[in-house]
Amino acid sequence: MADHKVLFIQGEDGKEVTLAALPSGVLISDALTGAGIEIGQPCGGQGRCGRCVVQIKSGKIRRRSTLRLSPEDVENGYALACQSVIEGDAEVIIPIQEKIERKLTTERSVADVTIPAGYDFLFSQNIRTIPLSLIPPSMDDQTDDWNRLKTAIRTSTGIENITPSLHFLQTMGEKLRVANWEITAILDDSINNNYPGWLIKLLPGKLTSDESIWALAVDIGTTTVTVWLVDIASGVLRDKASEYNGQISRGEDVISRIVYASKENGAEDLQRRVVETINNLIDIVCKRNKITHDQIIKSVIVGNSTMIHLLTGIPSASIRYSPFITAVNELPVLSAREIGLNIYSDAVIDCLPGIASYVGADITAGVLSSGMYETEKLTLFMDVGTNGEIVLGNRDWLVSCACSAGPAFEGAGVGDGMRATHGAIEEVWINGKTYEPTIRVIGGVKPKGICGSGLISLLAELFMAGVIDKAGNVNIHLDSPRVKRGDTGGEYIVVFADETSKGKDITITRVDIDNLLRAKAAIFAGFTVLAEQVGVVLEDAEQILIGGSFGKYINVEKAIQIGLLPDVPWERFQFLGNTAILGAYHALLSTEQRKKVTSIASNLTYIELSADNTFYEAFMSAMFLPHTDLNRFPSVKAELLKD
């Protein structure tokens, strides 16, 4: 196989990197990754998103797919890095990559998180601190160190069944002797009753009652990772930090990540990236609170099932294919060392249980913190992020499903879509007579795209103003310079090029509208199927709890107008923020709450929508604005009849 020399020119600073000896058939994306050059692959290298575009200046490159490129793009030398192979010497320009802004939550005010009522370290915690005075060994007492310690713990607490790690045993003897046999043993006592107690650490002497004991609650979102630093001695949440999941450049949704993980070294790359993200956040909270990494002795982790598999290096491929089975829903207790978290090496890692491939620990934790499992009220709980997960029920029963809504409401799959950061249009109003829009932009700067809340708002306004009909067709006959016929159908220009930061129109196209309709239809069909399965009327839900960061910003009125949310009085909606991390925090603090998560996971009935015939029907009915059956949306009907 011939070896080729390829010169990569990086758009940002014109830096040139030459890779010699590349064999024929190597993908450009793999060559770049191998050379440590970052190139975003939002769809995981499936050729679907068109965002890994490079420009071939010269040389022999073969394009396997040009699905997301126009004929002019190809003529101008553009190629998808994930779909183009090297077949000879070449020169390739890598355009400036979309920067993912770091979004660290630096606020230290934690007023919105209160310590659970009645929290008491001694009675609420799994973590036990056991002061011990051991009788040193002698010629008359030849008991080994481990049995000496175990006996002392049993005598002091009655706990028999405990496990040390090999590392614990390797360091135990020296610690006992240096401390002159006066020590405090820190133990996690039977985390979820299925496993023996975990011996974490030996500290010299005795802990004073005012000493902090540090632990973490961690939420691994597909998009954002959040870490809370908690002093479990007092229960106080001391600090929060979050940033984008470092895996994003390898796929924006879980399916893209699973696809990427199946590539050579893909799973290792994804695991390294998420561990690095968490470790960066740990560095930040340790520094800000002047503690060492070794002082952190436990972490409760939540995330969707794919995120937990990728974190732990467990193959995730089976999640993607029918019958959609995880390798494991409830992991045994792990140590920090096993997954590479930079806290005390024998710290307990407790990944909360999930229930299925697409309803993971983030949802069981959300059900816990939302309190829906103990209310009489018929409750609909939804967490719309990169995935849409829904739970319906009350204290007597719970059913759940996941809709493959796709990341449209996070700005992906929409030409001018973007995440909710600086420069994103987050709200739109359209004048019903002139069809002129008014927009609100995050940061008050020139806009560069539209984020999820902006897209919901835009779709609703276009519909209510009569720019699009209920099937999403743009009325190109309107007397407005903003409507035009594009390649795929009618389009509406939200912002003209000279008013944007990128010098190009910000437009919503027919394809964008279809993607948004599909996303909202999938979610609404999920609601409908769950309600039908248990024989309740969706609109009878007495409370609708919305978790996840997405919920914080959506305008309920507009989400109802497009048929994303059921048409019930607004006061029934509550926005709970990140319910997943709150659930992790509660499970970290309380033995009782931890047991409840296990019981929620075993009592939650999961409905696999792809196996449900009624789903397709419900989905097709919801593909209209707001729905084929307008009577299900009386407030929207009344508004439309007014005009």
* Interaction site with ligand FES (CB under 6 A): 41-43, 45, 47-52, 68, 80, 82
Q: Which is nearer to ligand FES, 50 or 547 (CB)?
A: 50
Q: What angle do CA 317, 321, 322 make, to 5 degrees?
A: 145
Coil, helix or strand at residue 17: strand
User: What's the closest the beta carbon of residue 252 comes to ligand FES, in angstroms?
Assistant: 9
Coil, helix or strand at residue 2: coil
User: What's the closest the beta carbon of residue 40 comes to ligand FES, in angstroms?
Assistant: 7
Phi, psi of 66 (to 5 degrees): -130, 25
Smallest CA-to-CA distance from 128 within 182, 179, 191 is with 191
Range 575-589 burial, b when 16+ CB lie within 10 A, else e:
ebbbbbbbbbbbbbb
Q: Which is nearer to ligand FES, 50 or 551 (CB)?
A: 50
Tokens of 456: 């919901």
User: What's the closest the beta carbon of residue 68 comes to ligand FES, in angstroms?
Assistant: 6
User: What's the closest the beta carbon of residue 83 comes to ligand FES, in angstroms?
Assistant: 6
Please give the Cα distance from 225 to 347 (Å, whole number): 20
Q: For the packed helices 510-534 and 452-464, what is the interaxial angle rounded to 10 degrees?
A: 90
Q: Which ranges of 125-265 does DSSP label H, i.e. alpha helix?
A: 145-157, 166-178, 254-261
User: What's the closest the beta carbon of residue 336 comes to ligand FES, in angstroms?
Assistant: 33
Q: Which is nearer to ligand FES, 26 or 328 (CB)?
A: 26
Please give the Cα distance from 201 to 183 (Å, whole number): 10
User: What's the closest the beta carbon of residue 97 comes to ligand FES, in angstroms?
Assistant: 12
Q: Which is nearer to ligand FES, 79 or 439 (CB)?
A: 79
Cβ-Cβ contacts under 8 Å for 37 (sequence gap 6 or more): 8, 10, 17, 94
Coil, helix or strand at residue 187: strand
User: What's the closest the beta carbon of residue 418 comes to ligand FES, in angstroms?
Assistant: 16
Q: Which is nearer to ligand FES, 70 or 438 (CB)?
A: 70
Q: Which is nearer to ligand FES, 260 or 615 (CB)?
A: 260
User: What's the closest the beta carbon of residue 251 comes to ligand FES, in angstroms?
Assistant: 8
Tokens of 92: 């390739």
User: What's the closest the beta carbon of residue 511 comes to ligand FES, in angstroms?
Assistant: 15
DSSP string across 406-429: GGGGGTTTSTTB--SSTTEEEEEE
Q: CB of 289 within 8 A of CB of 299? A: no
User: What's the closest the beta carbon of residue 77 comes to ligand FES, in angstroms?
Assistant: 16
Q: Which is nearer to ligand FES, 197 or 407 (CB)?
A: 407
Please give the Cα distance from 523 to 139 (Å, whole number): 72
Q: Which is nearer to ligand FES, 259 or 300 (CB)?
A: 259
Q: What angle do CA 262, 224, 314 make, to 5 degrees?
A: 30
Tokens of 336: 């920090």
Q: What is the DSSP letter of 330?
A: S
Q: Which is nearer to ligand FES, 246 or 353 (CB)?
A: 246
Q: CB of 450 within 8 A of CB of 425? A: yes
Q: For the packed helices 613-621 and 510-534, what is the interaxial angle rounded to 10 degrees?
A: 130
Tokens of 442: 């995050």
User: What's the closest the beta carbon of residue 187 comes to ligand FES, in angstroms?
Assistant: 47
Q: Which is nearer to ligand FES, 43 or 261 (CB)?
A: 43
Q: Which is nearer to ligand FES, 31 or 459 (CB)?
A: 31
User: What's the closest the beta carbon of residue 41 comes to ligand FES, in angstroms?
Assistant: 4
Smallest CA-to-CA distance from 523 within 394, 407, 367, 355 is with 407
DSSP string across 558-606: HHHHTTSS----GGGEEEEE-HHHHHHHHHHH-HHHHHHHHHHHHHEEE
Q: Which is nearer to ligand FES, 28 or 368 (CB)?
A: 28
Q: Which is nearer to ligand FES, 99 or 287 (CB)?
A: 99
Tokens of 509: 């196209």
User: What's the closest the beta carbon of residue 243 comes to ligand FES, in angstroms?
Assistant: 22
